[in-house]
Structure 1
Amino acid sequence: MATTERPTSTAEAAEALASSRGGIMITGAGSKQGWGAHPEPPETVIDTTALTDVIAYHPGDLSLRVGAGIPLIELQGVLAEHDQWLALDPAEITRGATVGGLLAAGSAGPRRYRYGTLRDLAIGARLVLSDGSVIRSGSHVIKNVAGYALTPLLHGSLGSLALVSEIILRLHPRPAATASVLTRCSLRIACELSASVSASGVEPAALTWAGDDPDDGSTEFLFDGTAAAVAAAAERTAATLRGLGHAPAEIEQRDNADLQTGAWSGRQPPPAPADGLTVLRIGVRPSRLPEAAAAVRDSVAAETATATWHAELGTGALTVLLAGSPEAQARVIDASRRVATGLGGRLLLRDRPPAVAALADALGPPPAEAYLMGAVKRALDPDQRLARGRFAGWF
């Protein structure tokens, strides 16, 4: 049975790692433990949820140094007192997702179209390696690791490189209001409309589409800013849609409460899939989204399976919630992965039932950069102790 440590500081985390033996698993809220390949059972679990201090906050500089275990929803409440926010809106915020966990998982919501992800917003970090060594990236270096910009490398590493104890974040002024322009159309039409809206001079915060079939769904053009600015952007977008023959079904304007509470919209994937569902994450060029979705639909139709689709039109991210027997799901995954690869993209599995995990590879064939990823892993964790097996087949 694994030993669990819950450090309250970087020093305690370093001591826990230095004294540990065997495999190590780092966990926060646990909202993304199902992502990536299933790791080997560890001898030691490091729980980061006590690393929650706001260490240094300079509102005038729009920067913050904070413990990596702080839940994003709690951090947004602290920042709201100064009319600021960390510009992330992942669905997992409602499950207590921590800032460090979001960095390690590479997770961000639809607003990444405007604001980017933690690859862009995390400008520094303090890390603890598997042997207890401490590194600071983004400021004074305690232990020099020549050749690596470490903080971006942590994005999407799923706890396989280091424990993140502190993060330095770039903040944004908190928008006073948001507005959404909604219309129903196919995913193909949605991609065409999003290109026209983006070229019209407005600056959407997010462009999303969701539906039970790629031929019919709800498209949302989301804007952040002052009440007057978002109202003007929404009206201009509605005029653009009308000019293209797609009158908006609805225009919504609201205050910014959802930035703090993490209110979830059905136009993005749910924070946790229902039992029995598998979450497929496909990344392609935005213009290839309709082809990718159509291929998944054709695969689903050939099996005793069902699916719903959630697309980020500006970034080319397609999330599919797949239901059916484990065997049917595995066949859909294999067929869809071949198409995604043929389109120059990639298909990864996130949460999935154990029976599907036993039949379908979570990661697929290694990308060209897998060799470099393995080199970084060997440099930072030479004994391969962190998250063993999380990237099985890649490195």
Structure 2
Amino acid sequence: MRPATLAELRDAVRDTDGPLLVCGAGTAAGWAGTPSPDAARIETTGLAGITTYNPDDMTVAVRAGTPLAWLQAELASHGQRIALDAARVPAGGTVGGLVATADSGPLRHSHGGPRDLVIGVTVVLADGTVARSGGHVIKNVAGYDLGKLFCGSFGTLGVLAEVVLRVHPLPPATRTVALPCDAVEALDAVGRVLAARLEPVALEWCDGSLLARYEGGPSSVERRASATLLHSAGTVLDPTEEAEAWRRVSEVSDEPTVVRCGTRPDQFPYVAKHATRVTSSVAVGVHTVAVAGAAEVERLRAEFEHVTLCRRPPGSDLPAWGRPHASVPLMRAVKQQFDPAGRLGVGRFAPWF
């Protein structure tokens, strides 16, 4: 089923018996647990386009199946953007899919992830009820914050129909500084950049370098990039080198076996020792880790609690989730309230529920 309106989506959920699988553009089809093969599919790509946008309000309401890359191009004509740069965006990742998987990129250092950018949602619940939360203004305190709850829900609580996002200005200029260091030295390098209060929008370690990206006016980014070199040895990248460096960051997500790992920032070196390649928002403690195979995934899970499988080789039976962590009982309780019949996303969080 590929509904094109909210009414069609509501009817598809309400009038279909049995399990339902929510799909976007398929850029994260291998994430999380393997869905039930008996589930009826609802594809949200028919729900595309902007519904409400006033640049002065710094918010945009968009249908969930809208590719973020398309939305970025529309906002750019007004000098604005969504501060979300997940590696899946160029491949067609949709707004709803990025929210449902809580995916993000290096800009998480300064802007957070989807849960920090979503200010309102319209969802269809498992019984066909249409629910709305939040609104079209940034300082909105009315109602339950369903937007944050649906971030990372993998389509198990309801179907996102519309998302309201906060927007940010496009930067007039950018500059990236590369500071060569290993995973252990990266902790000190991050500390020096942060102590200097130079306010990088992204601070990402990848392939032996810490990349500090600055955005703002031309003179501001040049000054902050130069000031970075007063505290650490490195190189200010020219535009071609800058684009190549950030391309390598995105490439890590394309390796055969990839996990997303959340830890304390000081645990990054212990994560990196398991990796064939890794890109890390070190100061945030979010690491995208390419590993040699299932054995390394299990070693990571033995050491760290929050390890999500993002990519596995075709035909692999590597489980998506490790041992249940402390919040799993709460997740089960929320699932019971939103979907008591257990129709949505069957298998996505197996074996937790």
SS at match of 1:265: helix
Residue from 262, 273, 286 that aligns with 2:254: 273
Q: 1:272 to 1:186 in 2, by over 3 A?
A: closer
Deviation, 1:148, is 4.4
Q: Give the letter for the 1:387 counterpart.
A: G
Residue 309 of structure 1 pairs with residue 278 of structure 2 = yes
Deviation, 1:118, is 1.1
Structure 1 CA distance, aligned partners of 2:30 and 2:214? 32
Unaligned runs of 5+ in 1: 141-145, 212-216, 242-246, 298-306, 324-328
Residue 6 of structure 1 pairs with residue 6 of structure 2 = no
1:154 touches 1:161 (CA, 8 Å); kept in 2?
yes
Residue 252 of structure 1 pairs with residue 237 of structure 2 = yes
Residue 380 of structure 1 pairs with residue 338 of structure 2 = yes
Q: Deviations over 1:30-62 (max 9, x none)?
A: 001111111111431111111112111011010
1:23 touches 1:41 (CA, 8 Å); kept in 2?
no
Match of residue 302 from structure 2: 338
Q: Give the letter for the 2:261 counterpart.
A: I
- Please give the TM-score of this superposition, normalised by the length of structure 2: 0.93
Match of residue 351 from structure 1: 311
Deviation, 1:272, is 5.3
Structure 1 CA distance, aligned partners of 2:10 and 2:23? 15
Q: Deviations over 1:146-174 (max 9, x none)?
A: 99421101111111111111011111111
Structure 2 counterparts to residues 202-281 of structure 1, below 5 A: 202-211=198-207, 217-241=208-232, 247-248=233-234, 250-252=235-237, 254=239, 265-270=246-251, 273-274=254-255, 277-281=256-260
Q: Deviations over 1:98-131 (max 9, x none)?
A: 0110000000111111011110111000000122
Structure 1 CA distance, aligned partners of 2:174 and 2:309? 32
Deviation, 1:291, is 2.0
Match of residue 320 from structure 1: 289
- Please give the TM-score of this superposition, normalised by the length of structure 1: 0.83
Structure 2 counterparts to residues 11-26 of structure 1, below 5 A: 11-26=7-22
Q: 1:42 to 1:82 in 2, by over 3 A?
A: farther
Structure 2 CA distance, aligned partners of 1:253 and 1:167? 36
SS at match of 2:296: helix
Q: Deviations over 1:360-384 (max 9, x none)?
A: 3221011111111111111111111
Residue 364 of structure 1 pairs with residue 322 of structure 2 = yes
Structure 2 counterparts to residues 161-176 of structure 1, below 5 A: 161-176=157-172
2:19 touches 2:39 (CA, 8 Å); kept in 1?
yes
In the alignment of these two chains, the number of paired residues is: 347
Deviation, 1:293, is 1.8
Structure 2 CA distance, aligned partners of 1:380 and 1:264? 43
Q: 1:188 to 1:272 in 2, by over 3 A?
A: closer
Structure 2 CA distance, aligned partners of 1:139 and 1:282? 32
Q: Deviations over 1:244-270 (max 9, x none)?
A: xxx21x212549x98xxxx98244242
Structure 2 counterparts to residues 112-123 of structure 1, below 5 A: 112-123=108-119
Residue 106 of structure 1 pairs with residue 97 of structure 2 = no
1:177 touches 1:254 (CA, 8 Å); kept in 2?
no
Structure 1 runs, 4 residues or longer, greater than 3 Å off? none
Cα RMSD of the aligned pairs, angstroms, is 2.1
Q: Percent identity?
A: 38
Q: Deviations over 1:333-386 (max 9, x none)?
A: 222211224xxxx22211102443x2x322101111111111111111111111
SS at match of 2:203: strand
Match of residue 284 from structure 1: 263
Structure 1 CA distance, aligned partners of 2:237 and 2:170? 19
2:133 touches 2:143 (CA, 8 Å); kept in 1?
no
1:208 touches 1:267 (CA, 8 Å); kept in 2?
no
1:21 touches 1:43 (CA, 8 Å); kept in 2?
no
Structure 2 counterparts to residues 182-201 of structure 1, below 5 A: 182-201=178-197
Deviation, 1:292, is 2.3
SS at match of 1:383: coil
Structure 1 CA distance, aligned partners of 2:229 and 2:157? 46
Deviation, 1:220, is 0.6
Match of residue 139 from structure 2: none
1:23 touches 1:385 (CA, 8 Å); kept in 2?
yes
SS at match of 2:249: coil
Structure 1 CA distance, aligned partners of 2:43 and 2:320? 24
Structure 1 CA distance, aligned partners of 2:294 and 2:165? 39
